Amino acid sequence: MLVASWNINGVKARIDGLTTWLKERSPDIACLQEIKSQDEGFPRAAIEDLGYHVETHGQKGFNGVALLSKTKPESVLRGLPHDESDEQARYIEGVWTGEAGPLRVASIYLPNGNPLGTPKFDYKLSWMERLERHAKDLLLKEEMLVLAGDFNVIPQPEDVHNPNAWLEDALYQPQSRGGLRRLVHLGLADALRMTDDRSEIYTFWDYQAGAWQKNNGIRIDHLLLSPEAQVALRSVGTDSHVRSWEKPSDHVPIMAEIAA
């Protein structure tokens, strides 16, 4: 079972690249973030023509997450629990059952949080606290779980080309990094770091100042695995080559092969 995550940065603008990648990589489940589309406007036909089922949790012009899968999920949860007043579309969760039992996958677009000292950073931290509460509940199920997406958190100095440039950014603050670390301490694991401890493995390169050409990147897209998924993990990788495609997203896909 190949589970992938990609912040597509506008699905309508990147639909050609997305369908090309789906045909090339053929993931069983693909989690998208920042689709920037309402549910009814999502270009599902082009994706369904490739044999995928589409579930979306959209929002006009901003945010939005989706699950693309070769088989229809048995259940879908839209929206992160523990705050019914939150109208931002940042979380969708599906459940599939395979030979090894249930597999639960969530597509997450965690708030950016900039600028510091504003309600946006407070919202980021409170959202992370809600995610931690929900993750605790999910881990009690003792099933394969993948929390996938753009977490907007740089975990460690080796995950950024120039750490000093991010010292005043919400993605690299002690509170943000601590929130991600608390998730891991629940029993989750960073799938990529289970298999590769090298530096300069990035998932995001800004459009400005030749960041891609200079490899001035950061790693903010993550796959967090429950213990049950950790033992079933076979491989992890990124498709960094898509960053050089025409009209690319500023993020690239990350994926994990799981025996499910």
Binding site: which residues? 7, 34, 150, 152, 250-251
Continuous segment of H or E residues that includes residue 192: helix 191-195
- 3 state SS of 78: strand
Q: Which residue bears the tokens 């608390």?
A: 182
Annotated binding site for Mg(2+): 7, 34, 150, 152, 250-251
Is 161 one of the catalytic residues?
A: no
List 52, 57, 91, 109, catalytic entry: 109
CB atoms within 10 A of CB 140: 8
Is 123 one of the catalytic residues?
A: no
Strand partners, 161: none
Is 28 one of the catalytic residues?
A: no
Distance CA 43, CA 8 (A): 13
Q: What are phi and psi of 98, to 5 degrees?
A: -115, -165
Alpha carbon of 151 to those of 91, 109, 128, 195, 245: distances in Å?
11, 6, 9, 19, 24
List residues with catalytic annotation. 109, 150, 251
